[in-house]
Amino acid sequence: MKINVKKVKQYIPITFMGLCVLGFLIFTAINKDFSIADFLELTRGHPIITSIAVIVAFVIKGFVVFIPYAVIAISTMALLDFPAALMTVIVGTVVNLSVPYWVGRLTKDDWIQKILNRIPKARPYFEASDNLFLVSFTLRALNLSNECLGLLFGSAGLKYIPYMIANGIAILPSAISYVIIGKDMNLIESLSSPIFWAAIVVDCLMVAVMTVYFRRKKKKMELEKAAK
């Protein structure tokens, strides 16, 4: 049997991601009481090391879907001064969004087309770059997995800059709410913050607006198709 070297190279990124997931599951099974928050806590009192540890945690999260974004963000805010924590979370978020995107982009296969063949109604939303931007924005605003979305839109061909803009804007309200919770380390106090609720409202409004937009777009496409 002849091995297709080119095909094997294409699957190296996604294979590495799978190995990271497996390694993480084995590690957590062996060390049941150890978490990402514990890992970051080890660096308390050393701001530079803490920032580096946070970036590393976000890199790991980029490969492992099971690590909660909120845990890293909240822990960072509790360990660093606000300006340093905010900057570290921003850099970490960019890294976290980028890793799965490039894994999907480098794994050049037609699996996304196979999925769309099974869900033909979803195909129109993935056939134009502007649609991909809006779909990416909407799904991220729904707080779905950064890793799954990165793989999806990297493979679907959404360009990196539009992808980062869409996801960066959509993740901002959630990030702000985590900043406030991490800063106060008290959920009750966080709930009394008008900025916290403003972030939640903006998040909900973004989802509502995108939902209405896509419903109207779907109706328009159906009318255009019926007119042909």
**Predicted confidence band of residue 126 (pLDDT cuts 50, 70, 90):** low
The mean per-residue pLDDT over the stretch 79-100 comes to: 87
First-to-last C-alpha distance (Å) of the chain: 49
Give the span between the Cα atoms of 188 and 57, in whole angstroms.
27
Share of residues in the chain with pLDDT > 70 (%): 68
Share of residues in the chain with pLDDT > 90 (%): 1
**Predicted confidence band of residue 204 (pLDDT cuts 50, 70, 90):** confident
* Beta carbons within 8 Å of 96's beta carbon, 6+ residues apart: 58, 59, 61, 62, 69, 146
Q: What is the pLDDT of residue 146?
A: 82
* pTM recorded for the entire structure: 0.72
Q: What is the pLDDT of residue 109?
A: 57
Give the span between the Cα atoms of 148 and 145, in whole angstroms.
5
83 burial level (CB within 10 Å; 0-12, 13-18, 19+):
exposed
1 pLDDT exceeds 60?
Answer: no
Q: How many residues does the chain have?
A: 228
* 135-189: pLDDT as tens digits: 777 777 777 788 888 888 887 777 888 888 888 888 877 777 777 776 655 555 5
Q: What is the pLDDT of residue 188?
A: 52
The mean per-residue pLDDT over the stretch 24-32 comes to: 78
- Amino acid occupying residue 26: I
* 179-194: pLDDT as tens digits: 777 665 555 555 566 6
| b/e sequence 2-35, b meaning 16+ C-beta within 10 Å | eeeeeeeeeeebbeebeebeeebeeeeeeeeeee
The mean per-residue pLDDT over the stretch 90-112 comes to: 82
Mean per-residue pLDDT of the chain: 75
**Predicted confidence band of residue 199 (pLDDT cuts 50, 70, 90):** low
> Do residues 74 and 178 touch, judged by C-beta distance below 8 A?
yes
77 pLDDT exceeds 60?
Answer: yes
Give the span between the Cα atoms of 178 and 161, in whole angstroms.
25
